[in-house]
Amino acid sequence: MATTTGLAGCSGGGGSGGGTTTLGVIMPVSGTISELGPPCRDGADVAVQAINDAGGLLGGDIAVQHEDSESVPDAGVRAANRLMEGESVPAMVGPLSSGVGMSIAPIAADNDVVYFPGGSSPEFTSLDQTEWVFRTRPSDAFVGAALARIAYEGRGMETASSIVVNNDFGIGLADSFEEAFTELGGEVLSRERANVGQTSYRSELESMFSGDPDVVLNGCYQDEATNIFRQWFEQDLGGQWMIHSGLIGSEFLGGIGEEIADGIFASNPRLPDNEANQHFRDLMEDTDTGDPGELIFPPNTYDAINMIALAAERGGEATGSTIRENLRNIANPGGTDVQTVGDGLELLRNDEEIRYIGASHNCDLDEDGEAQGLTFSEIEIQGTQPEAVGTVEI
């Protein structure tokens, strides 16, 4: 079911100002990764709050229409089509699954809608619709490289295996890790795939650990990853695990317990210690999520909404084409650095150029609309708590 957050007014997809500009947000609030959706909805809502508190957009208000991707492509497509009904939204953000996200890209392009998917597969840059696609979430091409460098250069690990979810996200993560790890001099001994909903992984675990790898990458969703870790523990296979950033939340780590979680390591895009991130955390305090900690997805969503609004304000019109044409102008170096959307809107209204510095990273966009200039944290799980123990530049 759709819900709309924002101020009441004349709703619509956009224009030159005066009414309410509604943006679309598609996040998983049911299905396999449903635990990640609500914090991202909150991230979008606090961005809307900040924009409206700063005078709104183009003389009017801004709102978001929330849709549930249900963590599957068919539902994601239906959600996107609902956002196209009537006067379609000029821009939309989400979902988090790469497979779901790529199925939505043609709908965005066909309707001239700017699209910030939350998925991390490198395959987004190969889509025919890349001119409409932008990302604040780093590609797995960077995530896999960061994991490889932490394992090989930082921890002296020379052999690895992996088990990843059998979809675009998991396969992309495994590919990028293997490419970077082997280029550094490491060897990947085995690669296993886990289907969503699969419950037994004993044969895959035996296969992976039979070669005695120095480290094993778990690139699965929470339900599958939980089963994998518990069965590994029951089989007493030993070894060292690493995980992707979607598994470093307290709910997952607390669920598998300290005996399993302690000592696992991961990489996560390093959240900046800056005014933008602190402002975001302050806004999040009054939401159901509260402080999202090291989770990257909520600030990614927050930054995307802010960037869309700033691009529309600069261009003088809340249409997809205008937003697309102005995104790099407000994101890349060349203007005055701003770390809150309110400061950015004020300068733009005075015909000054800006560079938006985000809560998740600096938000520079390359020629493919990809996040660039990234720093990753090396995360080690101590007990069941993720702790940053180092950094990796990519």
Question: What pairs with residue 241 in β-bridges?
Answer: 216
Give the span between the Cα atoms of 362 and 216, in whole angstroms: 31
pLDDT in tens, 335-391: 999 999 999 999 999 999 999 999 999 999 999 999 987 899 999 999 999 999 999
pLDDT in tens, 75-130: 999 999 999 998 899 999 999 999 999 999 999 999 999 999 999 999 999 898 89
Would you say residue 12 has pLDDT above 70? no
Give the span between the Cα atoms of 280 and 137, in whole angstroms: 16
Q: Which of 39-53, 89-103, 120-134, 199-213 has the lowest mean pLDDT?
A: 120-134
Give the span between the Cα atoms of 267 and 269, in whole angstroms: 7
Any idea what DSSP says for residue 90? S
pLDDT band at 8 (very low <50, low <70, confident <90, very high): very low
Give the span between the Cα atoms of 127 and 156, in whole angstroms: 36
Mean pLDDT of the chain: 94
- Are 266 and 393 in contact by the 8 Å Cβ rule? The answer is no
pLDDT in tens, 147-174: 999 999 999 999 999 999 999 899 999 9
For the structural domain made of 140-271+374-393, what CATH number should be given?
Answer: 3.40.50.2300
Give the span between the Cα atoms of 337 and 290, in whole angstroms: 27
Indicate where the chain has its CATH 3.40.50.2300 domain(s): 3-134+272-356, 140-271+374-393
The pTM for the full model equals 0.88
Read off the amino acid at residue 309: A
The matching CATH number, chosen from 3.20.20.140, 3.30.2130.10, 3.50.50.60, 3.40.50.2300, for 3-134+272-356 is 3.40.50.2300
pLDDT in tens, 230-239: 999 999 999 9
Start-to-end Cα distance in the chain? 40
In order of 224, 278, 341, the CA distances from 273 in angstroms are 33, 7, 17
